[in-house]
Amino acid sequence: MDGDSKAAPREMTRREALAWLAQAGVAACALTCGRAHAEDGGRKKIGNLFEFPNGCAKDVEGAIVVRTDEGMAALARICTHKRHTLEVDDNTGSIFCSMHGSGFDLSGKPTNGPATRALKWYHVEVDESGAVWLDTSKSVARGAWAPLPKWAKPKE
């Protein structure tokens, strides 16, 4: 073999190919999981006040968002009985667990079924323009309703 000729590339063994694929898969997962984790927490806009009817719950961005005369709240979507994902009835806006029949009021307090503990509350806020912001990385005390702008409060 002279100095000008190049050696043919060596073929990758099956073991090397599988190891390479595994490393690529781990790297892709790390990128995707890291991005999802970064998006899960932190303040993000979830809509406008007009999209949340008064006296109803709505499933939005991994939380149950509620609007009442008292203000806005964001509740955990996980039942306190057996940790099943809660659902919101599209017609009535009521919160329930389809697994064992627990129901929750708009403050997250159980109304029936085997669940006995109230739902966790997350930070939600409404700015003066009516934009609704949610931060599921921050929990707040139950009953800490986010105030509505003056123009959106019910007339007394």
What range defines the domain where residue 29 resides?
13-42
Same domain, 33 and 83: no
Residues contacting 54, CB < 8 A, separation 6+: 67, 68, 69, 154
Within a domain: 67: yes
Same domain, 113 and 80: yes
Within a domain: 118: yes
pLDDT given for residue 90 in this prediction: 84
What distance in Å separates the CA atoms of residue 140 and residue 53, rounded to the nearest whole number?
22
Instruction: Record the pTM.
Output: 0.70
What confidence tens digit (pLDDT) does each residue in 13-66 have? 877 766 665 565 544 444 433 333 334 458 999 999 999 999 999 999 889 999
Same domain, 36 and 49: no
What distance in Å separates the CA atoms of residue 153 and residue 59, rounded to the nearest whole number?
22
Same domain, 75 and 91: yes
Residue with the bigger pLDDT between 39 and 85: it is 85
**pLDDT of 146 over the 80 cut:** yes
Among candidate residues 118, 130, 120, 109, the one with its CA nearest the CA of residue 47: 130
pLDDT given for residue 13 in this prediction: 82
Mean pLDDT of 55-82: 94
pLDDT given for residue 35 in this prediction: 34
Residues 22 and 16 sit within 8 Å (Cβ to Cβ): no
Tokens of 48: 């406008």
What confidence tens digit (pLDDT) does each residue in 117-131 have? 999 999 999 999 999
Mean pLDDT of 84-94: 90
Same domain, 22 and 96: no
Within a domain: 82: yes
Q: How many domains does the chain have?
A: 2
Phi first, then psi: what are they for 21, rounded to 5°?
Answer: -60, -40
